[in-house]
Structure 1
Amino acid sequence: MSGPVIAAASMSLDGFVAYENNDPGALFDWYQAGDIEIINAGDLEPFHLTPESADYWRSWTNGVGCLVVGRLLFDITDGWKGEHPLGVPFVVVTHEAPTDWVHGSTGNAHFVTTGIADAIALAKEIAGQSIVGVAAGTIAGQALAAGLLDEVAIDLVPIVMGEGHPFFAGIAPEVVRLGDPTTVIPARRVTHLRFPVLR
């Protein structure tokens, strides 16, 4: 039996996960809002979370076995140089896999050119019974529309961005059917929320 598939991201009050230029603005300020150090894999600097955020972060990220991301995020981060901050493999949904990516030798990146369903199927195979995390944006929208998500996790940040990339991009609003929140954790500069996806 495979683990749940969860789309997760920090989001503004008006529903955006980054500006149009891909800058997250103040969405990640809560990563440095406390005193509890969270060590990341790769070369990302440690987070410093509040006790509430640290407990929440550990409670679900420690269970993640694989991530599914889009080509845009992969390109912006240079594929985290082959090592995602969570220290887990990741599957990239793309029209064409890169042939000259210098960090490919780590073996952590997997490229799928046949759509979101195949990408999540591969991620489930890699993760086993662990969680498959899905990045927000176009990929989250595709996964939700295809009925592939089990939960939505939102780190709700008290800012208004006005425009940018929405949490679910390119999806009809009527497709978004979420149940009552199973998690509501207020913390400094963020409220952590999790919602089940209704089938």
Structure 2
Amino acid sequence: MKVSTGASMSIDGYVSGPGETGFEHLFAWYGNGDVEMPTGNPEMTFRMTQQSYDHQKAWTGEMGALVVGRKLFDMTNAWGGMHPLQVPTVVLTHNPPAGFEDNKWFAFETGGIEAAITKAYELGGGKTVGLNSGTIASQALDAGLVDEVWVDLVPVILGGGTPFFSQLGNIPVELEGPLEAVQGNRVTHLRFKVKK
């Protein structure tokens, strides 16, 4: 089983700024090129450089399913019923919401990060499980379950907010690489392997 986590991150290590701000900087590279990348949401088509497109296509192409937290699920309003990557999405939560019993795109797990990753692996047909950054990625990294970390490093300093990883109990965590370093427009795409 391969488990990876990836995020757009500021130079100072944040995936969102104070009070859930800064996204216009962190995600600008999704729209600063001329290569179209459609998503599962017809109203959301990215336009990125060829370098960013190739990098993103490689990451999303190996993805079988995702594990996200309830906060992101609620903040995005469940992405309108399907994650833009069009893969099964397991929501780790203590309190599964009503109204999603027949939705084929979402599953809810209350049994912890390992159970959520196992469920995502099964739903994704054995392909790579992707984790959203923050609490989910941190729990999985602490449990020794993360194989790769993909960072889209954006040249902005946010000065605070939500870090990519936080409150880790097993530190330091050594990474191998970068296995890949790709320069896009106002973003550097990096891929690392977690040393085990």
- 1:96-175 paired onto structure 2 within 5 Å: 96-100=95-99, 105-172=102-169, 174-175=171-172
- 1:175-194 paired onto structure 2 within 5 Å: 175-194=172-191
- The residue aligned with 2:69 is 70
- The residue aligned with 2:12 is 14
Deviation at residue 39 of structure 1 after TM alignment = 0.3
1:106-144 per-residue CA deviation (whole Å, 9 max, x = no partner) reads 321111111101000101111223111100001100000
Name the CA distance, whole Å, in 1 between partners of 2:169 and 2:183.
29
Alignment length (residue pairs):
195
Deviation at residue 20 of structure 1 after TM alignment = 3.2
Secondary structure (helix, strand or coil) at the match of 2:191 reads strand
- Calculate the TM-score normalised by the size of structure 1: 0.93
- The residue aligned with 2:83 is 84
- Paired AA for residue 138 in structure 2: G
Deviation at residue 85 of structure 1 after TM alignment = 0.7
Name the CA distance, whole Å, in 2 between partners of 1:77 and 1:164.
18
- Paired AA for residue 174 in structure 2: R
Superposition RMSD in Å: 1.4
Name the CA distance, whole Å, in 2 between partners of 1:188 and 1:142.
31
Secondary structure (helix, strand or coil) at the match of 1:88 reads coil
Q: Segments of 4+ in structure 1 off by > 4 A?
A: none
The answer to whether residue 38 in structure 2 is matched with residue 39 in structure 1 is yes
Deviation at residue 28 of structure 1 after TM alignment = 0.1
Q: Is the 8 A contact 1:18 1:25 kept in 2?
A: no
Q: Which runs of 5+ in 1 are unaligned?
A: none
Q: Which runs of 5+ in 2 are unaligned?
A: none
- The residue aligned with 2:58 is 59
